[in-house]
Amino acid sequence: MKDYTNYKWFFTSNNVLVVGGKSDEQNELVLKHFLKPQYTIMHTVAPGSPFMIIQSDNPTKEDLNETAIFTGCFSKQWKTRNKHIEIDIFKGEQIYKLKTMKLGTFGVKGQKETVKIKPELILIIQKGKFKAVPNPNGESKLATIKPGKMSKVGAAEKLAKIIRDKFHLPTHKDEIMQAIPSDKLSVK
């Protein structure tokens, strides 16, 4: 398997890897390197999200729910501060690409399921990295992240201070910035 750490990734509470693109270019690469026809993929109904691929033939209900939340939280929809974000769920075999489609854009043939998620993440340490994920599964929660009014830099600075002061862990805002959504955050 390709190195997933160069992409948007997290492990579900069932320890299943989910990998997605951070950009149009990465959406192309993630579908090329991490997709199998039977794998489940998620993308927001509105444009502007990573294609998140669950690296499992049989994801559980928890895996599906957590991936849907993660997909919505790392989409352009996060910045709109909507209380709910719609996510499309489909299989790898349904994806197609026409030569006329721009970079990072794909079509989906056949039926897809659509779910609504509530955008909210928790900051934890996963595989030695700070990660904003949908479900702590008993792991030590460092902070809660929701849509809000703070800039990404401001939120990262606040999170780094919380982690240093409350948990006595050495950290820098740059590490946190890699883990959190793009902008318009609330931190507790």
Q: Residues 28, 71: one domain?
A: yes
Local structure of 152: helix, strand or coil: helix
- Retrieve residue 9's tokens: 């990734």
47 versus 2: the higher-pLDDT residue is 47
**Res 67: pLDDT:** 97
State the residue range of the domain holding 152.
121-187
CA-to-CA separations, 25 to 55, 70, 72, 120, 184, in angstroms, rounded: 20, 20, 19, 26, 24
* Whole-prediction pTM: 0.94
Q: Residues 171, 100: one domain?
A: no
pLDDT (tens digit, 9 = 90+) per residue, 2-19? 799 999 999 999 999 999
Structural domain ending residue among the three candidates 61, 83, 117: 117
Local structure of 178: helix, strand or coil: helix
Other CB atoms within a 10 A radius of the CB of residue 148 amount to 13
pLDDT (tens digit, 9 = 90+) per residue, 86-108? 999 999 999 999 999 999 889 99
Place of tokens 């955050």: 185
Confidence band of 56 (pLDDT split at 50, 70, 90): very high
How far apart, in whole angstroms, are the C-alpha atoms of residue 39 and residue 36?
5
Number of domains in the chain: 2
Q: Residues 68, 157: one domain?
A: no
Q: Span 14-43, mean pLDDT?
A: 95
Q: Residues 172, 101: one domain?
A: no
CA-to-CA separations, 44 to 15, 105, 126, in angstroms, rounded: 23, 12, 25
Confidence band of 137 (pLDDT split at 50, 70, 90): low
Q: Residues 111, 144: one domain?
A: no
Structural domain ending residue among the three candidates 63, 95, 117: 117
How far apart, in whole angstroms, are the C-alpha atoms of residue 142 and residue 47?
31
Q: Residues 47, 89: one domain?
A: yes
Confidence band of 81 (pLDDT split at 50, 70, 90): confident
**Res 87: pLDDT:** 98
- Retrieve residue 177's tokens: 């910035």
Q: Residues 80, 129: one domain?
A: no
- Retrieve residue 49's tokens: 């999200």
Exposure class string for 33-57: b at 16+ Cβ within 10 A, else e:
ebbeeebbbbbbbbeebbbbbbbbe
**Res 169: pLDDT:** 86
Exposure class string for 84-109: b at 16+ Cβ within 10 A, else e:
ebebbbbbbeebeeeeeeeebebeee
Confidence band of 134 (pLDDT split at 50, 70, 90): very high
Structural domain ending residue among the three candidates 91, 117, 143: 117
**Res 172: pLDDT:** 84
**Res 82: pLDDT:** 82
